[in-house]
Amino acid sequence: MVTAIRGDQSAQRGSIRVSRHSATTANTRRSRTVRLTAQIAGVACAAAALAAACGQAGGSGTSASRRAQAVPFSATPTVSAKAASTPPIRTSTYKRTPPHAVTHREPLPAATAAPAKRAVGASTPSVPGSVSGSVPPVSAATTAGQPGPSNTGVPAATALKVHNGDLVITTAGATYDALDIRGFVTVRAPNVTIKRSIIRGGVATRGSVGLVTAVDAHATNLVLQDSTLVPAHPSVSIDGVTGANYTLTRVDIYGTVDGAKVLGDNVTIQNSWIHDTTHYAHDPAQGNGPSHNDAVQVLGGRNVRISGNTVRGGNNAALQITQGNGVVAGLAFTGNWADGGACTVNVADTPRKAMSDISVSGNRFGHTSGYKNCAIIVSAGVSVTTVGNTWVETNTPVAVTPGP
């Protein structure tokens, strides 16, 4: 802009010199024309410089969303230009320290309205002290009957009571209904039910923590239904649900590193929407490398049922199965809408030598995996049943990619 202004001033001085040395009326008119032309040119140059400067400022001030909008299944298939060779098995290792909850309860303030149901591109609900804009807009399911914004999460018009602070549940058989929980939930008792609630968590200070954590030996038969899990303070340390012996029904989870983490037996995830994980360039759980985001990550457990959900993978997988926390057996992934990830479903027996009694059947897959057409990848030591898996757009069978 400075260069343009100086050019404008020089042009004006040149025009004045032409005017002073013109002796005739014709020359005077010519000098005025020259002066006017130079002034217009100077203004145009200044405007061009200003536009360039504004463009540079806008570019430096714009950051890409950490969560990409998921491509609807009904869209034209889009695949990566990556090599068509067999992709490597990508696994996540659970290295974080156990979560630590603060044992206290806060009084419940007056009732508040439930968060409005989100349309495509709508902003996520915010709470006092939340990080504005850090959880980008969500994507929506498009197939009739598919779990998405209209049939998961807190039902519309539910009146919620605010609970400030962490909630540690130690009463067997307790039921919590219609709460806006602005802290982490830790379950240490059997037969607990949480329904029609939004769980936002707090600020993660150490280790790994779920917005809901059920790792205590007494925390059996936890039921979480018709609820929304989204962090108010997104962090590389925050997952959605983590533990064992829990059932999720019509739950909406997004904005976390992993959506649901399975660490042990007796887990059911059904009719839920797990999507739009948040990716981080540096994750201590991955040796300070990039985070490995999964909609559902299974690290151990028997009797695991994942059915009728919409699961959209992060950069790693929609469903990642490994055995870092124990043997995996009796696992069924059936009737889901699945998409995304490097490969959408990744089944690896690591770090053990074998895995059996696994079923990945009757699922519908989209084409947005990082590796071209990599819906299911299975390592050599896994015995798995794969029947009736199809591509959504064409209803044609899905092939299994062999892993190492």
In tens, the pLDDT along 55-72 reads 333 333 333 333 323 323
Q: Residue 112 — very low, low, confident or very high, per pLDDT cuts 50/70/90?
A: low
Query: How many angstroms separate the Cα of 205 from the Cα of each of 39, 84, 184, 202, 290?
Result: 61, 42, 12, 9, 19
Residue 91 has pLDDT above 70, yes or no: no
Which whole number is the average pLDDT over 123-141?
36
Q: Residue 392 — very low, low, confident or very high, per pLDDT cuts 50/70/90?
A: very high
Q: Which residue has the higher pLDDT, 113 or 159?
A: 159
Distance from C-alpha of 74 to C-alpha of 393, rounded to nearest angstrom: 6
Specify the pLDDT at position 117. 52
Q: Which residue has the higher pLDDT, 56 or 402?
A: 402
DSSP code, position 68? P
Helix axes 25-60, 2-20, angle to 10 degrees: 180
Share of the chain above pLDDT 90, in %: 59
Distance from C-alpha of 153 to C-alpha of 199, rounded to nearest angstrom: 11
Strand ranges in 96-208 using DSSP code E only, listed in sequence order: 111-113, 159-164, 167-169, 175-177, 179-182, 185-187, 193-195, 198-199
Chain centroid to Cα 236, Å, comes to: 12
Q: Residue 287 — very low, low, confident or very high, per pLDDT cuts 50/70/90?
A: confident
Contact in structure between 183 and 163 (CB atoms under 8 Å):
yes
Positive or negative: CA dihedral 275, 376, 299, 336: positive
Name the nearest CA neighbour of 361 among 378, 381, 340, 380. Answer: 378
Read off the pLDDT of residues 142-182 as tens digits, 9 standing for 90 and up.
466 899 999 999 999 999 999 999 999 999 999 999 999 99
Read off the pLDDT of residues 307-333 as tens digits, 9 standing for 90 and up.
999 999 888 999 999 999 999 999 999
Specify the pLDDT at position 144. 63
Residue 136 has pLDDT above 50, yes or no: no
Residue 134 has pLDDT above 90, yes or no: no
Report phi then psi at 338, rounded to 5.
-130, 145
> What pairs with residue 253 in β-bridges?
229, 274
Three-class SS of residue 319?
strand
The b-or-e profile of 285-312 (16+ CB within 10 A means b, else e) is bbeeeebbbbbbbbbbbbebbbbbbbbb
Specify the pLDDT at position 80. 31
Query: Which residue is it, tokens 């899905």?
Result: 398
Read off the pLDDT of residues 73-85 as tens digits, 9 standing for 90 and up.
332 222 233 333 4
Query: Which residue is it, tokens 């239904």?
Result: 225
Contact in structure between 49 and 4 (CB atoms under 8 Å):
yes
